[in-house]
Amino acid sequence: MKRLLIPLCGVLLLSGCASKESSRYSIKQDRGPDRAVDLSRVPDAVPRYEPHSRWGNKSPYQVLGKRYYVLPTAEGYLERGTASWYGKKFHGHTTSNGEVYDMYEMSAAHKSLPLPSYVRVTNLDNRRQVVVRVNDRGPFHDQRVIDLSYAAAYRLGMLQGGTARVEVEAITPGSGSTTQLLASQGRSAVSSDRAAITGRTLQVAALSNVDNAQRLAERLGAQLQEPAKVVATDRGGQRLYRVQLAPLTGKHTLNWLLQQLSQAGYPGAHLVDLP
């Protein structure tokens, strides 16, 4: 099913279901969370302009002996086929464009759309819809067109069946599709952006030194006028300190925050929906 990261050394690293033998995953069989989680209120991804990621956009690339080509743009993309989903096995691991997969975020994997892209996914059996941000590669199974996060699959009502018949339509910021999407929901781009991030967590960086993490949190909190904190976590036997802005007040748009962080040297900042 999954996912491709083009690392600095030029060696292809297969993650997810495309490399089931990999020892980097502690779970052999993918599944959802161990406890019941209500994801009905997790908001859709909010389309915005983003440059193509440094990683995950090499074209062509090869997985399991098959060659794939990345589209130069997502504009006009429309396809119907089978969707699958992925969850806890890959939760916390690196996606193809170098971000961290969070099964509680509205994200997806796709074989050919540029990373990142935004798409609207419609379950053709129950007409439920979600908007997700594509930041990963996969699914590398025949007849499957998209691999959805656990949260997106939950919202589409496809967890029990595992797969669903879907329509995938690209949303291209600046082409009018984003404005039309938000207008159909009775929202403006700015008010939607602010509402979508209020109370959520924006992860900025993960540092190995707690003092540096604390200083960064204090500096960003003062500069951006948002609450900032440091959260310790263990990954691969290493203690890391995540610098996060949380809970976001909603006084700034997500675009503005991400722009400020990128200029400060943290272009990989991303929203985290749930712990």
Q: What is the CATH number of domain 194-272?
A: 3.30.70.1070
Q: Cα separation of 190 and 194, whole Å?
A: 6
Please state whether beta strands 129-136 and 107-109 pair in parallel, antiparallel, or not at all (unpaired).
parallel
The CATH H-level (homologous superfamily) assignment of domain 4-181 is: RlpA-like domain (2.40.40.10)
Question: Would you give the distance in Å from CA 194 to the centre of its chain?
Answer: 18
User: Tell me: the pLDDT tens digits for 156-197?
Assistant: 999 989 999 999 999 877 555 554 555 555 555 455 456 667
- Start-to-end CA distance of the chain, whole Å, equals 25
Distance CA 27, CA 10 (A): 27
Same fold across 4-181 and 194-272? no
Report CA dihedral (212, 215, 220, 222) to the nearest 10 degrees: 180
Rounded CA-CA distance 74/60 in Å is: 16
Span of 37-46, 114-123, 152-161, 186-195 with lowest mean pLDDT: 186-195
Report whether 108 contacts 168 (CB < 8 A). Answer: no
Residue 175 is predicted with a pLDDT of 54
- For residues 67 and 210, what is the distance between their CA atoms, to the nearest angstrom? 43
Residue 17 to residue 53: CA distance in whole angstroms: 22
> Confidence band (pLDDT; 50, 70, 90) for 29?
confident
pLDDT per residue as tens digits for the range 247-265: 988 888 776 787 788 778 8
Domain ranges of the chain: 4-181, 194-272
> Which amino acid appears at position 108 of this protein?
A
H or E segment to which residue 205 belongs: strand 201-207
